[in-house]
Amino acid sequence: MEVNVISQERIKPSFPTPQNLRNFNLSLLDQLIPAPFAPLTLFYSNEDLEILDRVSSLKESLSNVLTRFYPLGGKIKDELTIDCDDEGAYFAIAKTNSTLAEFLIRPKLNLMDRFLPCETSFNGSVIGARVANIQLTIFSCGGISIGFCISHKIFDGASLSTFIREWANATLGSKEPVCPSFIGSDMFPAEDLWLRDMSIKSFVPIFKMGRSATRRFLFKASEIIALKTKATLNSNPTRIEAVSAFLWKCASTASRTRKGFSSPSVQTHVVNLRRRFEPPLHEHTIGNLIWFSSVKLSSPSEMGLHELACQTRKGIREINGFTKNLVRSNERRGAIIESLTKTKDVGDGANYYGFTSWCNFGFYEADFGWGKPIWVNTVGSECPVFINLVVLMDTRDGEGIEAWVTLDEEEMALLETNDELLTFASLDPSPLQATKTKQ
């Protein structure tokens, strides 16, 4: 499949950024993120072959939205600052000789990068890079994809969702614009890079590098209900907790089979902090307002699912206590050091599995005039830098979950033939199988 870029330009904010906002300071928590970009691609069914005639409205609405999301019109100045120079977001238009239906029959991971406007690797410095990069790709049938590479230095999944949905609403002429809140650096000011340096020391030793494979496992709503029932004993897990616990068990089983013995195992989960503050932050608060829970068990592969779900839930809930100390400036540094030290300590000599959930963020609500997306994914590379990572995404009906799992090649070969896993999940199905809309 060929994807050829036919135009490139910068979309500037419709109004200049005030001089007092030109230097945007990143927050302390923004330093926690090692990845340069947060990649995301939305696919839309469309039969209008004159789509290029409608691109002008996309550009105009993007320009208007960038005025409120002003850092996205800038570039990375240094490790602590964004230069809101109003030079604009990179915007490319591409065409492909494939139809959308042909691609979605069985999407190939090695083609995903072609729908993104930039590389998502960790190689090289991002200083000087544009904060926002967007690519509109037009399929031969008229179908469309919109690929985003937004700097992870300022956007987490919730922030990205806020921006995309607001751009979509503006394109449709919404008269009720969202006012994003950029208070992260006020709440958690950063004067130096101590958290970045410490997080590297804490997380890099437990990340694995090597030959890996990524597969997509689809858990439909009925299968998740069955998993939750199986995982319920002393607690009532959410669908995220139930699926995470189940995949942790299955991945640990693959590791045990490959090695011939059980090893201690660590599960971390990215936790959205917005609702955990007192009082809660507004959902449109922009920044990396996240932290990591961590749980270490001696042998998850030999434990019951209800035990693993309970431990997963307990680890995530422990973040509430951490959050209380995080907002107290006199206790913040100590709380962060203690949390990072714990994560590093639990990872010593153990198998590590990192989970992040982009469920419930509303990406499937982004309608630019072609209806809602028929598929959304956040995989940006055929060759992930780190293995043993799991990304959870909603299905279009909002009830199922797609789990993008990256593991060691040998362990993935065992995982994808795990009979228990395949009882609850489908391996790499066509996204068209999960495209029913909510009733």
Q: Just list the catalytic residues.
A: 152, 367
The Cα 20–Cα 23 span in angstroms is: 7
Reference 390, options 407, 400, 405; nearest CA is: 405
**Residue type at 76?**
I
320, 394, 432 from 422: Cα distances, Å = 34, 19, 19
**CA–CA distance, 325 with 336 (Å, rounded to integer):** 9
Dihedral-angle region of residue 54 (phi above 0 means left; psi in -120 to 50 means alpha; beta otherwise)? alpha
- Preceding peptide of 237 cis, ω within 30°: no
Task: Measure CA of the first residue to CA of the last residue in the chain; give whole Å.
Answer: 35
Q: How many angstroms separate the Cα of 135 from the Cα of each of 12, 54, 85, 98? A: 15, 15, 21, 17
Q: Which of 210, 213, 288, 217 has the alpha carbon at shortest distance from 38?
A: 288
Tell me how far apart the alpha carbons of residues 295 and 264 are, in angstroms, rounded to a whole number: 11
> Looking up tokens 């492909």, which residue turns up?
96
